[in-house]
Structure 1
């Protein structure tokens, strides 16, 4: 059987996706696979749970550093060489994480892992947008969306299963054979177009690198530690805020003034890119915040173990698969804005449904809302990615993809930090409101206290029994206050989704102007 030139080119295009999408999946999986294993890792190194958070923070900070540098690194090394170098660094760092025998070695290894992995998703997105068009782009976009959305969802489940059945070391070791396979495939399948090849006389913007690193590190640490340190009530957080704001201002000024800059802001001239990036950033914040909050609720409030709470996220993965199929089928057949709006509306309904949870629910009670979450995320996100980058010139795609993913990462960090603050602050608010009703004039409280006290009378005296009854009621009050904090947070996600709906219809359909021509 002979293939025509068109068939051969088509096969080559699809083969391009194999190593790039596999690499993107590996990076996205590692964003969450270690979450469940943190208590085990902390125990191995004899550190506190708060100290173990640096295992996650170092990874996120490092990935933030390299994402905006993707265009400069492509010009300096060539995109294929850069991709293979980053996969190599990620693979070696994964091995070092697995053999780490101290907290210091683990944090450094995770930082290196983040440095290597940060560019993998933007590269996959850039190659996809450059190689495909029309119906093929819709299908490729569906595959890309499935990779970047499903991987973080199944991460805690895989991490929990490996940790419970083997050891936490293997959540890192599994990356080694995958990384080797990616390197072999990339060597044979990826070919750089002329504009993505290594260029001569590429200048290094040292000031830009300094400002970018300062901004990313200060901002991520502020987001990570803000809730624990009472945000701006802490001098440390205030100082970090000044540092990242000044660094960001200096970064923008330095990049605008330089011709051969580290980060190019040309993509911000494209209207759809700006609006689409805002939508994707809010959606990423909702995605990561809800993924952090729901397992936490199932563990802290419902008493589930780590693996079982991770399993409660699996229906979201099923929803993502359904959403990917729907998006791939419908996107070529309808206005992408309408499809995205339908997806976000489903996401809002899923969030609002989780706003009716209580302490008597079973694990099945979160299945339908989670499926809705998965469908809504994929059906909403995939068309927005396509619309936001469709009018970007091919030679600017790597830069635009890097900027978009950098901003999305920042949004995810903000969402995860805010949800921790929401749960903490809303718990205090609801607790203060409920405590006001624990008075002798409240007949329900008096009857409940008498009932509890009478139960304890057989074990102790009246005074102690009354105190034990009050303690039991207060513990129940705290649980209810925290429950309402989770309820409020999920409803805030629904409101944020409504904001995205308005932004979606601000997108322009099939705009033909090209950023390189402006």
Structure 2
């Protein structure tokens, strides 16, 4: 086996397509389910709280496995591990579609998330190592297409499937893609020579357990905190204590164990540290805004799932258009810091614009241009951040760095959604209390309005 994993010609094209397909599989499935929750609830006889676990379980499975591929790959070989992850994801996609009750579906989604968690990070590592160093900015641009466009594709695709077929088909569509990706992986993807296997006695089993407790507890808090009234709930407090203790013990374990499951020392690299923090910010903006726009258009403007999902497509196309341009600029020597700062400014403009114009009467035209600006900002953010993060890493460090940025992007998204959900709930409660305080049941106008409402039933 060669030391260099750089590929050329048709082989590199096929490997790139394979990696992007796998990244899309994982990311699209994180958002496609959202528009099908109501149908699942009715079909499986579940409550709203129970069906919410379909999303929570997938996110927990994702976040537990995302930091591990740089350790697991050497044990089994990257190609074998990547192919096995695709197979696990595909099998449990089929089982999700065949679930007969809500808790079966939740378990299958957890396992699907464990299979899918490796796809995103390993895809980035494979693409990065398939391109020579001078073209890695372009490689990150190609990878970014999948990461940025994926969350946008989920809602319209899910809306179309739910409107025209039934919810199991949002899982069944993964099967042919998964089979094709598995075959291409086994045929074309190579495992690095630098990978070193460990004996069973050298496996950091305690580290794995602490990581699962820490990340799983944190993800649970972020996903379920709003519904459980945050720290008013004893369960949320217990999971918070578990997350804090687990994190402290995990840090101690990984810094003292000879063969850690997560190599924290790679964070000595300054570029990776900055990229890890910025990946959290990127995830907050990417997943937070992808969550709030469909929610607003459906609940306030009365749009269908397909209409609200389709609204996000122009922004995704803007990002797709910008990706290769930004990649080429970076290849020619443009400063990552300048492009990233410009992206942050543009995203701020988008956020402030939305804050000023969104009302129950907002038109599609206003949304269109606002989301075009969002797409431009994300394009300018993603490539400089990922390129900066991995630019000075070599060999096995690339996979370790990709794991950190991937995990922080996922957690940033969870924090973003949790913050937005909490803000909406608190604002709604505030306006409700304000409305109630101005209602007088003895008022003639109130009595007249109540009589009209009763007459309408």
**What TM-score, normalized to structure 2?**
0.92
Counterpart residue number, 1:52: 51
Query: Do structure 1's residue 349 and structure 2's residue 349 form an aligned pair?
Result: yes
For residues 374-429 of structure 1, the C-alpha deviation after alignment (integer angstroms, 9 at most, x for no partner) is 12112211111001111112221112211221122112111111110011113334
Structure 1 range deviating more: 109-118 or 317-326: 317-326
Counterpart residue number, 1:370: 371
CA distance in 2: counterparts of 1:272 and 1:8, whole angstroms: 26
Aligned pairs for 1:143-182 (under 5 A) are: 143-182=142-181
What count of residue pairs does the alignment treat as equivalent? 445
For residues 355-389 of structure 1, the C-alpha deviation after alignment (integer angstroms, 9 at most, x for no partner) is 12111112232111111111211221111100111
How far did 1:128 drift? 2.3
Distance 1:10 1:337, change over 3 A: farther
For residues 423-450 of structure 1, the C-alpha deviation after alignment (integer angstroms, 9 at most, x for no partner) is 11133345556777x499xxxxxxxx98
CA distance in 2: counterparts of 1:86 and 1:466, whole angstroms: 59
Counterpart residue number, 2:98: 99
Counterpart residue number, 1:199: 197
CA distance in 1: counterparts of 2:203 and 2:434, whole angstroms: 57
Aligned pairs for 1:40-439 (under 5 A) are: 40-196=39-195, 199-201=197-199, 203-333=202-332, 334-355=334-355, 356-430=357-431, 438=438
For residues 261-306 of structure 1, the C-alpha deviation after alignment (integer angstroms, 9 at most, x for no partner) is 1111122101111111111111111111111111111111111222
CA distance in 2: counterparts of 1:200 and 1:279, whole angstroms: 33
**What SS is found at the alignment partner of 2:194?**
helix
Distance 1:326 1:205, change over 3 A: same
Q: Which has the higher contact order (CA 8 A, sep 6+)?
A: 2
How far did 1:23 drift? 0.6
**What SS is found at the alignment partner of 1:359?**
coil
How far did 1:82 drift? 0.6
| CA-atom RMSD in angstroms | 2.3
Q: 1:465 is matched with which residue: 443, 448, 451?
A: 448
**What SS is found at the alignment partner of 2:166?**
coil
Q: What stretches of structure 1 of length at least 5 have no aligned partner?
A: 1-6, 441-448, 454-462, 472-518
Cα contact 1:320–1:377 (8 A) shared by 2: yes
**What TM-score, normalized to structure 1?**
0.81
Distance 1:466 1:398, change over 3 A: closer
Distance 1:321 1:8, change over 3 A: closer
Structure 1 range deviating more: 8-17 or 263-272: 8-17
Structure 1 range deviating more: 130-139 or 209-218: 130-139
CA distance in 2: counterparts of 1:318 and 1:82, whole angstroms: 32
**What SS is found at the alignment partner of 1:167?**
coil
For residues 132-162 of structure 1, the C-alpha deviation after alignment (integer angstroms, 9 at most, x for no partner) is 2355222211110011110111111001101
Q: What stretches of structure 2 of length at least 5 have no aligned partner?
A: 1-5
